[in-house]
């Protein structure tokens, strides 16, 4: 078990870190990119994991010199994802950390997902009632890589950012954690990198 005894709070990213939902999200993005004419590159789209959906559309518009309405494209992507009706599974390595430290340490989730999606997913796995804070893309002005998500989680947990450690699966999430003044442990393909 990874030793987190020097911290007072743990912040987990959700998609790709606590639950294995990235394959379904990537398929929804593939369908969405096809519909709107964005070239789809799996590695590039994975690198944007943690960025709120609407902001991802802004990034794609800039990258490919397009001007699709971010709200419309984000809605299409969300509806595509929901139509797949896939229930992502828990990632065992991070869930073991969650369960080990939950009795005596504050735990929050900071995700680029919209609140209804996050609440549905966390409720389905019995996690929503077990956390001290949930901050989603719906709750912040600036999504990752901006540190607002993680700073808000720390504030809601009542823990100083410097006393928090973040578990993340993307470089964008790592940047957000570091900019929030938090240590970050990376999760790669479901494995904790220590």
Say what percent of the chain tops pLDDT 70: 100
Kindly state the average pLDDT of the residues 114-124.
Answer: 92
CA angle 191, 182, 173 (to 5 degrees): 55
pTM of the model: 0.83
Domains by residue range for the chain, with CATH: 9-21+88-193 (3.40.50.1000), 22-84 (1.10.150)
Kindly state the average pLDDT of the residues 31-39.
Answer: 97
| pLDDT at site 32 | 97
Kindly state the average pLDDT of the residues 23-44.
Answer: 94
Return the higher-pLDDT residue of 46 and 136: 136
Query: In Å, what is the CA distance from 33 to each residue of 28, 70, 88?
Result: 9, 12, 22
Contact 31, 82 (CB under 8 A): no
CA gap 69, 146 in Å, rounded: 22
- Residues with catalytic function: 13
Residue 45: closest CA among 71, 24, 76: 24
């Amino acid at each position: 078990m990874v030793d987190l005894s020097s911290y007072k709070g743990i912040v987990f990213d959700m998609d790709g870190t606590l639950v294995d939902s990235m394959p379904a999200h990537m398929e929804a993005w593939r369908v969405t990119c096809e519909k709107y004419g964005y070239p789809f590159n799996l590695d590039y789209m994975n690198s944007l994991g943690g960025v709120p959906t609407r902001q991802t559309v802004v990034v794609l518009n800039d990258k490919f010199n397009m001007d699709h309405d971010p709200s419309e494209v984000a809605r299409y992507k969300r509806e595509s994802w929901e139509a797949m009706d896939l229930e992502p599974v828990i990632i065992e390595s991070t869930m073991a950390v969650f369960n080990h430290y939950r009795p005596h340490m504050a735990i929050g989730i900071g995700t680029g997902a919209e609140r209804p999606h996050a609440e549905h997913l966390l409720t389905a796995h019995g996690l929503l009632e077990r956390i001290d804070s949930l901050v989603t893309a719906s709750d912040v002005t600036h999504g990752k890589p901006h540190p607002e998500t993680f700073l808000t989680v720390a504030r809601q947990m009542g823990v100083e950012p410097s006393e928090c450690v973040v578990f993340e699966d993307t470089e964008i999430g790592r940047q957000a954690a570091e900019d929030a003044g938090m240590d970050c442990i990376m999760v790669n393909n479901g494995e904790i990198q220590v």
